[in-house]
Amino acid sequence: MNAIIENLRTCLEERDISGFLEAYEGIVSGADFRTGQLTGITQRIFPTVLRDMLASRALLAADVVRLWRLVRCGRLLVVDNDLLVGINALLDVAWREVEGPDAPLPTKLVTYREAAESIPGRRSARPAAAATSDGDVVPMRRIVMASAFTLGPVHLSDLMTFRKCVCASSQEREFLQAVRQFFPSLRAYPNVPLRNFMDVDSFVLRLSERHRRYSRAAQVDVLLCTEDEDPVAGFELDSVLHDDDEVRERDQLKDELFSLAAIPLLRIRADDTANVRAEDFYDLLVADSETLDRLRPRRLRPRRTHDMLVPAEVQVRRSAAKAHC
């Protein structure tokens, strides 16, 4: 048995209420013992011992005040109505002895009978099975546990495989759908590294070493391209995390790289990042349609490929060299 539980049990066996209350107050949440063992002591053994101590008037004044505080703050649950009445009967005298004769008297513990009578117009019939031999109603307490939930998109397919979605979050997935609907003639790709559509090595030499290091791992949330995979614009999803000074500095580096590459970069921030959907992002794009319409290419430049002509004498020399070998 756990040492804490054994100590509490020993105190009750020796009728040491002071030691029991002191040990009980010292218990912290997360202690190494089973909750069922502690409940068995406080709800089975302790009420019997306390009832005997109240009947014999053997409780010390300090123990009465300490017991009242534990029950009052909810740390110790006492469900027997006669125990609550007994504590209230000794409370005034014990309080004056501990706190002084001029101290204001504390509020008495609420008994279950008083709690039922405090609700006006509520009278419930007494079931025959709920009556004791003395005719008193067995006190009962109803505990209601309420949980609050909010609706949000959940993709269970991501939890059942080792594969990972290209979009880093459901917010990016919803935004990607909105961009594809707003630009049906263009192509949108998520999480594209900057080096995949920027010739960083050509212009990064004009920047600092910090720009050079940042460009190696930086990526854009959504890249908008033509049918020939030419970049048109980039989109970044902002949130409250981007208000941090360090993140804001990285965003500035990305803005400078896009400016050197002559590619527009637009930042979109939703009000509710947890529950935002594609329809909400689409409304944001429509609200800024005057700016976004300038991104649409007026003429799609086709990317043509041509076969290169190789001089005939080069082929002859190569074939002759192979023959001599």
Band (161; pLDDT cuts 50, 70, 90): low
Tokens matching residue 115:
């709690």
Q: Which of 106-115, 165-174, 220-229, 288-297 has the highest mean pLDDT?
A: 220-229
Q: Mean pLDDT throughout 89-116?
A: 82
Strand 187-193 and strand 231-238: the pairing is unpaired
Q: What angle do CA 23, 27, 31 make, to 5 degrees?
A: 135
Closest to 49 in 3D by CA, of 18, 76, 15: 15
List the chain domain ranges. Answer: 3-123, 156-295
For the chain, give the longest Cα–Cα distance. 122
Is 295 within 8 Å of 264 (Cβ atoms)?
Answer: yes
Is 89 within 8 Å of 119 (Cβ atoms)?
Answer: no
Place of tokens 């909810």: 74
pLDDT digits 0-9 by tens, 250-270: 889 899 899 888 899 999 888
Instruction: Flag whether pLDDT at 56 surpasses 80.
Output: yes
Band (325; pLDDT cuts 50, 70, 90): very low
pLDDT digits 0-9 by tens, 24-54: 888 755 555 566 778 888 888 888 888 888 8
Least confident of 13-22, 114-123, 232-241, 278-287: 114-123
Backbone angles phi, psi at 224, to 5 degrees: -100, 125
Q: Mean pLDDT throughout 191-216?
A: 82
* Stronger pLDDT, 113 or 198, i.e. the higher one: 198
Instruction: Flag whether pLDDT at 238 surpasses 60.
Output: yes
Is 210 within 8 Å of 218 (Cβ atoms)?
Answer: no
Q: Mean pLDDT throughout 300-320?
A: 58
| pLDDT at 147 (0 to 100) | 73
* Cβ neighbours around 292 below 10 Å, total: 19
Q: Mean pLDDT throughout 3-10?
A: 82
Sign of CA dihedral 85, 86, 88, 89: positive
Q: Mean pLDDT throughout 194-222?
A: 83
Q: Mean pLDDT throughout 158-169?
A: 73
Instruction: Flag whether pLDDT at 303 surpasses 60.
Output: no
